Amino acid sequence: MSAESEVFKNNGGEVAQDQDEVQLQHLGYKQQLHRTWSIVESFAASFCALNFIGGVRSAIFLGLLAGGPAAIWSSYLITIVFMTMTAAVLAEICSALPLSGSIYIWAAESAGPKYARFFGFVVAWWSCTAWMTFTAGNCQTTANYLVSQLAVWEIDFPGGVSNDNVKWRALIWAISEGLLLLAVAINYLPPRLYSLIFRFSIFLMMLDFFLCLIWLPIGVSKTYGFRSAKDVFTMTYNGTGAPAGWNWILSFLFTAGTMTGFDASGHIAEETKNARVIAGRGILSSAVATGVLGFVTAILFLFCTPDLDVLFSLNAPQPFVQLYALALGKKASIFMTIIAVLGLILNTSVAIVAASRLVFAVARDGVLPMSHWIGQVDAAGQPKRAVTVIYVFGAIILCTILPSQVAFTSLVSAGGVPTIAAYGLIALLRLTMTPDSFKSSYFYLGRYRKTFYLVAILFNALVVAVMLSPFVFPVTAETFNFACVIFGSITVFGVLSWYFTPADKWLRREQVLQALNASNDPYEPDN
């Protein structure tokens, strides 16, 4: 090793940055992005994109409708175990293939040379759609927190607070577009400053968590009182109209939804030092941390919610704002709303980081219109043009709020399906196509790998079925879940793209073989 290369090493013997670049070259790519982030940023990319406190707070009402408190805590425990096993499957392949836009590359390489392009195209479409719709949906969720203060202070809105009111939809749309612009603007910060955003996001989420853990119970004890342990651990509820068994299964819409997105650490792998180890570690640690903290938060909220009849009578777009007002008072609810809104803005910004790296990677491989322009990076090694593309698509998606809230909700509801489907598909391909590949992985699962693959396949298939299922029965035109139609359409677009794109334009066979061979070679860093 040259003296120049030795400069890249630190005193602890950490893998040199140029060795990351060598691995990247072996996989068929050259270093274009900055590589300045480490374990904190890798962990934060997934942990903040998952946003355990915001996810539980926003979706716990779905869990209460589907099965009630007993379904929430029991389903959450199951989800923690199986999603952590899924994270281990992704960490294994991420270590062998630490590339930007990782998830479609993982699917392609898992399929082997013969079917790589087909599954690469399909998962690329799935993942791009998932992250883009999540970004837009998160902006509307944030807007709902802000406008819910109108209900707390009993301020009348012209035409009423209803999605049937076009003026109300216009207000939500305008606020959402402004929040999207702010989240995107944060992404134009240079890498060193954005590292501070990662750290501040973690701090803000934990501040939110501890305020809920300490302040909320104090407020509840002085107002409407806690729910009993019997209610929390044994009470069931059917607010969906589904048969009892499926009603319970529908609770996975809440529990699995709060643990979807830990692949974000993989998307920034080319910007992470010692990515072979750190990116996979970010996936695993963020999944475990989100699961444990999300479960604690869910139990806390179950003890602190009022009677379900009272809870379901709250009519704000985000009922938790009214719950804070009941427990802590109107003024205190403003403070908690500000904390939640700031957290969600940063959550959206981090999601844009993952989404933009995915778009950059797809463009770098040459399949998108204007790929040459989109795939360029700036002098600081950031894919800012890909960030701009995310903004344009997010802004367009938000415009569907204006003609129909149902149309927008359907788009957003389909956002989680492609990601979960990709998790399960990668596990399926690993089990059936490449069960003995990627032995160079730092997180190689060894003799337990097929068990992990099978568990990931079955659990993620169940979650996809839940996400595509109607949530309210009997099914009517108003309650039909269009996620199945949207997911099917995305898949068709992926297949058509594969069919009409020449084989030498994207994911060429020799490129797939090069990456597959490199990922199977024993990797011994020159320390």
Q: Check residues 106 and 11 and name the one with the higher pLDDT.
A: 106
Determine if the pTM surpasses 0.75: yes
Q: What is the mean predicted confidence (pLDDT) over 178-187?
A: 97
Residue 87 banded pLDDT, cuts 50, 70, 90: very high
Cα–Cα dist 522/507, whole Å? 24
Q: Stretch 1-11: mean pLDDT, rounded?
A: 38
Other Cβ atoms less than 10 A from the Cβ of 322: the count is 21
User: Is the Cβ–Cβ distance between 148 and 317 less than 8 Å?
Assistant: yes
Question: In Å, what is the CA distance from 89 to each residue of 115, 260, 425, 450?
Answer: 20, 14, 11, 10
Please state the φ and ψ torsions of residue 323, each to the nearest 5 degrees.
-65, -40
User: Which pLDDT belongs to residue 4?
Assistant: 35
Query: Per-residue pLDDT for 413 more than 80?
Result: no
pLDDT band at 364 (very low <50, low <70, confident <90, very high): confident
**What are the two backbone dihedrals, phi and then psi, of residue 9, each rounded to the nearest 5 degrees?**
-85, 150
Assess whether pLDDT exceeds 80 at residue 88: yes
- Looking at 47-51, 53-57, 125-129, 196-200, which range is the least confident one? 125-129
Quickly tell me which residue has 């391909």 as its tokens: 429
For residues 113-124, b (16+ Cβ closer than 10 Å) or e, as one string? Answer: beebbbbbbbbb
At 10, the pLDDT band (50, 70, 90 cuts) reads very low
Is residue 357 classed as helix, strand or coil in its secondary structure?
Answer: helix
Q: What is the per-residue pLDDT for 521?
A: 67
Nearest partner of 50 among 347, 343, 288, 272, judged by Cα: 347
Span 310-338, average pLDDT: 93
Give CA separation, 343 vs 197, 201, 280, 390, 408, in Å.
11, 7, 25, 20, 23
67: which DSSP letter? E
Q: If DSSP states are collapsed to H, E and C, what string results for 198-211?
A: HHHHHHHHHHHHHH
CA distance 516 to 519: 5
What is the pLDDT averaged over residues 201-214? 97
Q: Is the peptide bond before 474 cis (omega within 30 degrees of 0)?
A: yes
Rounded to the nearest angstrom, the gap between the alpha carbon of residue 18 and the centroid of all alpha carbons in its chain is 30
pLDDT digits (tens, 9 = 90+) for 455-479: 999 999 999 999 999 888 898 877 7
Q: Please give the share of the chain, as a percent, with pLDDT higher than 70.
A: 93
State how far the Cα of 49 lies from the Cα of 506, in Å rounded to an integer: 29
pLDDT band at 1 (very low <50, low <70, confident <90, very high): very low
User: What is the residue-averaged pLDDT of the chain?
Assistant: 89
Give the Cα separation of 169 and 454 in Å (integer). Answer: 44
Nearest alpha-carbon partner for 137 in 508, 377, 408: 408
Mean pLDDT for the stretch of residues 235-261: 94
Quickly state the pLDDT bin for 405 (edges 50, 70, 90): low
pLDDT tens per residue across span 265-315: 999 999 999 999 999 999 999 999 999 999 999 999 999 999 999 999 988
